[in-house]
Amino acid sequence: MFLTSENILLIGSLLLFISIVIGKTSSRFGVPTLLLFLTIGMMAGSDGIAGIKFDNPKIAQFIGIVSLNFILFSGGLDTNWKTVKPILREGVVLSTIGVFFTAMSLGLFVFWLTDFTIYESLLLGSIVSSTDAAAVFSILRSKSIALKSNIRPTLELESGSNDPMAYVLTISFLTLVINQDQGLLSIIPIFLLQMILGGIAGFGFGILSKYIINNLKLGFEGLYPVLVIALMFITFSATDALGGNGFLAIYICAVYLGNQDLIYKKTILKMYDGLAWLMQIILFLTLGLLVFPSHVMPFMGIGLLISLFLIFIARPLAVFISLIPFKMKVKRKLFISWVGLRGAVPIVFATYPLIAGIDKADMMFNIVFFISVTSIVLQGTTLSMFAKWLKVDLPEGEKIVTEHDLFISNEPKMMMQEVHVLDNCIAIGNKIVNLGFPNSAVISMIKRGDLFITPDGSTVIEANDILVVLTDKEEDFDQVSKCLKQKIVEVK
């Protein structure tokens, strides 16, 4: 069966529906949903039951890049700066030096094991050097694994920020494979330009995006998430056009925005959560369609050896070396090593050699695919077990709830108080979004004279307004009072 403009929507929607239904039931059996999405794509592909003909790495790469934009941006929006700040250095070191050591050690093993050249070996090592954000985010959250200390934010920060490093290494070694006359030192300027410009552009576009979101009056709540999508793609493509790393830029931009007060922020977060899941499903289905299982089978032996070396030697070695400067228990380092999940990102990166047409590109792609599947099967299904075995999990019922969780929660607020805005209040003339309220406190209603107003972030506070404030925590009212410099009146 060939994909055409007439049947692509029907086939795509059916595959999407099947993935959602099967994915819903898979958690009962401990099977990662992402693996099922990939399997459904393979079963629908050329070698599968449906026999859908899809063999276009360029389209798959484009879908992969678009999907990664949404996945990384969503992960960045959900990153709480207060929880990340204490482990920022560990996360950054793991996402840079850790990725580098993983790529180098695995590349040297591949060079020893196969007939690949040293640059081809290091290219393969670079492709699978980063942990997969989609896999880590979805498995940690779907399984609701509660971890001690700062392990979870460390893992999420690492997985959300290490794709840029792997991308730069992949592009750099691909350049060396294509241009054999260039030396290893020639990739250093490329690396520095990508990372520095990517970081600067991420912060710059984050500040600009916040200003646009909070000051552009669109009139409809539903348009604000669409505006954020436009700003996300502008951030990625503009950074890439300037020679920076677009993946790093959108992640930093999203982390900045996720920790700012934005108009309709809850709507934006909810929409991105759904879009991230949609893009994960589309990405894994697409890559499943692209893979020919019959082509993978001949490389299972060598793929298994490389995968086991990556899981049990290269990844732990990189983690332990990277974390030498930090005081961390061995059990926690071991668990971080085990959450070295590979998923769709390495398969997307493996399309670059295919498109470039280098020798052994097909072999690389099939090996990378096998490594990703092995990682999801072996590591993804045993995370809860390893957490309990290493005693890094929290007892049931002690899951840490952050202010971020309270902000996006649909649970009703438990306490209510009124705030009377006096003539000398500093909040007069300011938008609600600029007041600096705690995330878990909301203004549910404003009484203005004889009118009752349902406010949003763009509503401007006026003198003599009566604000009805709802929250989960009593101490939030003190913070609200400080923001307004007002006396809060308790509702009887």
Q: In angstroms, what CA-CA distances link 163 with 96, 182, 462? A: 9, 25, 47
> Which residue from 221, 230, 234 is spatially nearest to 262, judged by alpha carbons?
221
Q: What pLDDT does 121 receive?
A: 95
What is the Cα–Cα distance from 17 to 232, expressed in whole angstroms? 27
- Low pLDDT (below 50) residues in the chain: 29-30, 397, 489-492
Tell me which fold the domain 412-490 belongs to: Alpha-Beta Plaits (3.30.70)
Query: pLDDT (tens digit, 9 = 90+) per residue, 440-455?
Result: 777 778 888 878 887 8
Place of tokens 């393979």: 42
The 3-state DSSP class for residue 453 equals strand
What is the Cα–Cα distance from 27 to 174, expressed in whole angstroms? 38
For residue 148, the tally of other CB atoms under 10 A from its CB is 18
Q: What pLDDT does 241 receive?
A: 94
The domain limits of the chain are 8-389, 412-490
pTM comes to 0.82
Tell me which fold the domain 8-389 belongs to: Na+/H+ antiporter like fold (1.20.1530)
* Biggest distance spanned by C-alpha atoms of the chain: 81
Q: What pLDDT does 5 receive?
A: 65
What angle (nearest 5°) sits at the alpha carbon of residue 248, between those of residues 242 and 253? 95
Burial of 489 (C-beta count, 10 Å sphere; 0-12/13-18/19+): exposed
